[in-house]
Amino acid sequence: MKLIRTIKSIVNEESKRDLTSVIETLLDGFVDDHKDILCKVEVKHPDNRTKLPHSDNNYENYRITFYLIAHKGGYSATRAQLMDNVMNEVWDLVYNYTGQKLDMFTKYVNSCNDIIKEDKDNSISNMIKTLGVSDAIRYFGNYYTIEPYLKVIDKVNFIKEKVKELSDDGSGIVLQVIDEEPLHYSNEDGEEHQIEWLGLTSVDISVYENEYSSHLRDYYAKYESLPVQIIEELVEILLNH
C-alpha cells in the first residue's frame, strides 16, 4: 500500500509526464500472481505506439500487451475467464491511480522462454547502441557474445574506434607496426593488392606486380566500401590489440 500511495502522489504532481515506468511498476505483481498463464506485460506510451498506415490520428491511451502462455489443450473457458478478470483488474488499477485509460491486447507464446530470449536479444542490441561496440565487448566480456547482433556498420565503427585508440599521432596505424602481416585484399590483372595501413576513415591498399616484386602504387578505400569478409578479418586482427 505504501508503494501505491507513493505512485499516486507522483502521478498527481506530474500528471503530464511519461508514466510508462509507473504503470509497469503497478503491474509487476500481476505477472508474479499469474505465472501459470502470464509471462509478461508490456506498456507503451501513446507517442511510442505504431500508427496505422495512412493514418494521421494520434493515440491518446497507453497500450498494454499481455503475453500469455498458449493453452496446449486448445480453448479453455476457465482460462479465458481468468484472463478477462485479470485484464479488468489491470484497467481499474491503472485508471484509479493514474487516471489513464488503456487499450489492451493479448499475444500468445509457446512458453515464457520465448519472451526471455526476445528480451535478451533486445537488451544486447540496445546495449550495443548505447555503449558502442568496444564498450559493449568489455561489458559482456566477449566479442562473440555480441557478434550475432552486429550490423556491418557496427563492425566498421569498431574498426574506426580501435584505429583511433591505437594510433600514436591520430592519423592511423601500420599493420606491421602492431606485429600484424599485411592483409591480402585481391589479385587483379596479375597484381597483388594488400592492405598495409589503416586510417581513421579508410585503408591504404598497396599494389605489387606480384608477391615478391617492388611496390607499384597505392590507393585508398573507405571502410564502408570494403567487402564484408575484409571487414570481418580486420575486426579479428584488431580484437587482439
pLDDT digits (tens, 9 = 90+) for 43-52: 888 888 877 7
Statement: residue 15 has pLDDT above 60: no
Does 63 share its domain with 161?
no
Structural domains of the chain, count: 2
26 within a domain of the structure (yes/no): yes
Does 100 share its domain with 159?
no
Region 110-114 average pLDDT: 74
Task: Choose the final residue of a domain: 77, 110, 143.
Answer: 110
Does 99 share its domain with 186?
no
pLDDT of amino acid 130: 73
For 54, the domain range is 2-110
Does 100 share its domain with 155?
no
Region 219-239 average pLDDT: 94
Does 97 share its domain with 192?
no
Task: Choose the final residue of a domain: 77, 93, 110.
Answer: 110
pLDDT band at residue 197 using 50, 70 and 90 as cut-offs: very high
Residue 94, CB-side half-sphere exposure with 13 Å CA sphere? 28
Distance (Å) of CA 7 to CA 58, 93, 170, 195, 200: 27, 12, 51, 60, 50
pLDDT of amino acid 128: 80
Q: Are the CB atoms for 171 and 163 separated by under 8 Å?
A: no
166 within a domain of the structure (yes/no): yes
For the stretch 199-214, pLDDT in tens is 999 999 999 987 667 8
Chain center to CA of 104: 26
The maximal CA–CA distance of the chain, rounded, in angstroms, is: 82
Q: Are the CB atoms for 46 and 58 separated by under 8 Å?
A: yes
pLDDT of amino acid 74: 63
pTM check: above 0.85: no
123 within a domain of the structure (yes/no): no
Does 67 share its domain with 162?
no
Q: Which residue has the higher pLDDT, 129 or 118?
A: 129
Statement: residue 163 has pLDDT above 90: yes
Statement: residue 2 has pLDDT above 70: no
Helix (H) or strand (E) holding 114: helix 112-131
DSSP state of 111: -
Does 106 share its domain with 6?
yes
pLDDT of amino acid 82: 80
pLDDT of amino acid 230: 94
Q: Which triple of cell numbers denotes residue 230?
A: 575484409
- Any idea which of 7-11, 44-48, 100-104, 193-197 has the lowest mean pLDDT? 7-11
Q: Which residue has the higher pLDDT, 19 or 184?
A: 184
Region 174-187 average pLDDT: 91
Task: Choose the final residue of a domain: 110, 134, 169.
Answer: 110
Statement: residue 183 has pLDDT above 90: yes
Domain at 57, CATH number:
3.30.300
What is the Cα–Cα distance from 158 to 132, expressed in whole angstroms?
A: 8
